[in-house]
Structure 1
């Protein structure tokens, strides 16, 4: 798999052509204007893209299909900025990730093993049992399924109760703590405590950010990105936590189940409206349970024992169904 050492307008055009997208389609995937993409391509190798845009291009390239990679490598290799796979630095030590699809809402969840982690700004050792947490925040599309199943009220910014298609894969926002809790109950999950959430973000060794200790605003959607809105939940591939969990810095604040005082609950992650120092996972924030805003959403968690039991019940149901008369292999 090829990678780019430094993106210029030449590599941008090569990726767009390899993806066989129009300027408008390509810009939409990156979350920028089509005028900006045209400007990059017109400036060719005389323009130096901002880090946040280089990170977005890295993510788009990494998520592209193999045939797009082949076409891109063929177009970009003569430019001298594409590194072949054998020149990539060896990956650092990674946790063995276990992910499962929750049988209720269908969302992928990552296992966070039991053990001690360093919590808070003081890095206090805290032991937690094993649990699963959603790989991505609850999206507008996820929330629409919940509404259809329960009749729950839509977020106030949806037009006539329907989410615009352009943001279906963005985190749902304009939800109160009560809305988030209602979704969690419907999904047979719960909102994570602040400590569960923080361990999923920082890992067992208490890294400052999900990706390590280097302050890199380009790895998340904070105010410095200047995007001015939420982004697709899978955009920041280089910013995932050691457990493979996305958007634990920026994009949208996330409700937790930890009560800070009567009627108020903790929030984690920071948001697209937050300056980078506020998206640090150890930072404290809270709000009234009735609060709703365009930068606040949530994700869910569940004890490992609970999801293992649910998956076990599903396996038993499948076996029972397969053992009915006439349901054997033919």
Structure 2
């Protein structure tokens, strides 16, 4: 499995539990005083472990039995999944414009009809109302689709199974055809490029979902140095005026709009963890062949209001 970016007391405690070790036995393996272990676990994420301990825990995890690694990954993912669900339930409770879709269970929000400022020139465009997924389609969401339809799983799933460590990350390695097949199964559609842009910028032509300030810390872009996808509910300070997450960074998202009629090239929006921040403005135009798939390309769905 991939390593831990930063070991805190929380991750150390989860590894101990996954290894089924007492505090003393675990301390012996890490090479620290046994009194350190309850201190680490008691302080949780508020304590960042020293570099020597970080390296020791990296080695311990890398050399652990695969079953231990699997248990650790499951424990690590549990809270991320719970936080995602908790955030989704909070949206449903507090925002009268949101609802849970009956097929794939994703939270969707209403984008009301009206004019919005579109493109780099902020041209006034009218759109009818529509619903859009609050979060990109995750690996966990896509797994439901694969199980229900027998559609081929993405190439990064080991043995064709959704990795527990990536359950709440956006699904990637999907073509436009894969994304469209999911949308049809769910009774939805891929958003048009204009729908996507309005959901990201709001009606008044914000440059970014959060406003006009170029704040790279509000999105998973290349400058963040993460070099991988992140959970879809992570960047809460970067949400759009409609409460939609990850409209900048994390993964490029397929739209239903062709670049030019009959070209078999479709627009992509939002930029990705591989993109420099300057590429993440929602008005930016990008497109790719419908058969393209990559580790930084995913999608979300829209539906009639």
TM-score norm. by structure 1 comes to 0.66
Whether contact under 8 Å (1:239, 1:246) holds in the other structure is yes
Aligned to 2:25: none
Deviations, residues 52-86 of structure 1 (Å, cap 9, x unaligned): xxxxxxxx9xx69xxxxxxxxxxxxxxxxxxxxxx
Whether contact under 8 Å (1:202, 1:209) holds in the other structure is yes
Using the alignment, how far apart are the partners of 1:113 and 1:152 within structure 2?
A: 34
Using the alignment, how far apart are the partners of 1:162 and 1:278 within structure 2?
A: 32
Aligned-partner SS, 2:105: coil
Whether contact under 8 Å (1:105, 1:142) holds in the other structure is yes
Whether contact under 8 Å (1:97, 1:244) holds in the other structure is no
Using the alignment, how far apart are the partners of 2:14 and 2:280 within structure 1?
A: 30
Shift of 1:163: 1.8
Shift of 1:37: 3.2
Equivalent residue runs for 1:246-325 within 5 Å = 246-261=245-260, 262-304=263-305
Shift of 1:226: 0.3
Equivalent residue runs for 1:179-190 within 5 Å = 179-190=178-189
Aligned-partner SS, 1:38: coil
Aligned to 1:202: 201
**How big is the alpha-carbon RMSD for the aligned residues of Structure 1 and Structure 2?**
2.5
Equivalent residue runs for 1:140-159 within 5 Å = 140-159=139-158
Whether contact under 8 Å (1:266, 1:285) holds in the other structure is yes
Using the alignment, how far apart are the partners of 1:105 and 1:97 within structure 2?
A: 20
Q: Say yes or no: does 1:216 pair with 2:227.
A: no
Aligned to 1:38: 49
Whether contact under 8 Å (1:23, 1:37) holds in the other structure is no
Using the alignment, how far apart are the partners of 2:194 and 2:13 within structure 1?
A: 42
Deviations, residues 268-294 of structure 1 (Å, cap 9, x unaligned): 010000000101100110000000000
Using the alignment, how far apart are the partners of 1:24 and 1:251 within structure 2?
A: 29
Shift of 1:97: 5.6
Equivalent residue runs for 1:122-201 within 5 Å = 122-201=121-200
Using the alignment, how far apart are the partners of 1:249 and 1:290 within structure 2?
A: 23
Using the alignment, how far apart are the partners of 1:148 and 1:24 within structure 2?
A: 34
- Rate the CA distance shift 1:270–1:165 in 2: closer, same or farther, 3 A: same
Shift of 1:166: 0.4
Equivalent residue runs for 1:5-20 within 5 Å = none
Using the alignment, how far apart are the partners of 1:210 and 1:143 within structure 2?
A: 26
TM-score norm. by structure 2 comes to 0.71
Shift of 1:104: 1.1
Equivalent residue runs for 1:15-94 within 5 Å = 21-23=10-12, 37-39=48-50
Using the alignment, how far apart are the partners of 1:227 and 1:242 within structure 2?
A: 26
Shift of 1:223: 0.1
Shift of 1:39: 4.5
Using the alignment, how far apart are the partners of 1:213 and 1:202 within structure 2?
A: 10
Aligned-partner SS, 1:258: strand
Aligned-partner SS, 1:243: coil
Shift of 1:98: 1.0
Structure 2 runs not aligned, ≥5 long: 1-5, 16-44, 54-79, 85-94
Aligned-partner SS, 2:143: helix
Deviations, residues 194-230 of structure 1 (Å, cap 9, x unaligned): 0000000000101001100011000000000000100
Deviations, residues 280-329 of structure 1 (Å, cap 9, x unaligned): 1001100000000000000000110xxxxxxxxxxxxxxxxxxxxxxxxx
Deviations, residues 221-270 of structure 1 (Å, cap 9, x unaligned): 00000001000000001000111110000000000000003110000010
- Rate the CA distance shift 1:155–1:22 in 2: closer, same or farther, 3 A: closer
